[in-house]
Amino acid sequence: MIALAVGAAYLLGGLPSAYLLVRWRHGTDIRLAGSGNPGATNALRVAGVGVGLVSLVLDVLKGYLAVEIGRQLGVVGAGLGAVALAAVLGHVFPIWLSFRGGKGVATAAGSFAALTPAGLAAGMTAFLLVVALTRVVASGSIAAALSVPAATLFAPQSWQGEPGVWLWICLITLLVVGRHHENLRRVWAGTESRLGKKAREA
């Protein structure tokens, strides 16, 4: 049953919400506009706040529903962590878009909402604080991702008896941070785009 749940999570996570919405509303291929990244941030940039917010909500739901579907299929413990990672991998490497997807932040957030609500709350707090201080969304995303496994350690009810869940959360974090490697280089060089200015990357 876990193999079915993981496969379903990958396909669900891979549904290209931003790509479909932008194509539907504007007839534009999001991969050829803005940063070229088929994610919610670029959808906002290319098609406006409404499309961007709907894309964000759908991407979050993909991660959350993937884990909940896994639960309904009888997957428990560390297996749910594998399901969550599969959903994020689906978003980052979607079969529907020739394995060229987004950065996985929103889908990871959705999976964290189902796996470790306390960790997600810490991540959201870190995101808001860092973005408020730096006006750099990428920095906030990275800070949020790193905060989740750290905070989860202090919320043992989310992984007590199942340390494998925490290890899967760490893998998701590494994937999300790794997808921001170009942003990290620009942050280090001081050239990363800030809110209120033209962005280079979604």
pTM of the predicted model as reported, rounded to 2 decimal places = 0.87
Query: What pLDDT, in 10s, does the model give residues 87-117?
Result: 999 999 999 998 999 899 999 999 999 999 8
pLDDT of residue 194: 73
- Considering just the CA atoms, what is the radius of gyration of the chain in Å? 16
Give, for 25, the enclosing helix (H) or strand (E): helix 17-26
In the chain, domain spans: 2-189
> pLDDT at residue 39 above 90?
no
Structure-token pair, residue 100:
């060229």
Q: Residue-wise over 31-65: b if at least 16 C-beta within 10 A, else e?
A: beebbebbbbbbbbbbbeeebbebbbebbbbbbbb
- One-letter identity of residue 64: Y
Give, for 102, the enclosing helix (H) or strand (E): none
Query: Residues 6 or more apart from 9 whose CB is under 8 A from it?
Result: 66, 67, 69, 70, 83, 84, 86, 87, 90
| Residue 100 DSSP SS3 | coil
> pLDDT at residue 1 above 90?
no
Query: Residues 6 or more apart from 53 whose CB is under 8 A from it?
Result: 40, 44
Specify the residue for token string 């470790």: 116
- Asked if residue 166 lies in contact with residue 152, where contact means CB atoms within 8 angstroms, the answer is yes
Closest CA to 191 of 178, 202, 176, 201: 201
pLDDT of residue 154: 79
Query: What pLDDT, in 10s, does the model give residues 127-159?
Result: 999 989 988 888 888 899 999 998 888 776 655
| pLDDT bucket at 196, cuts 50 / 70 / 90 | low
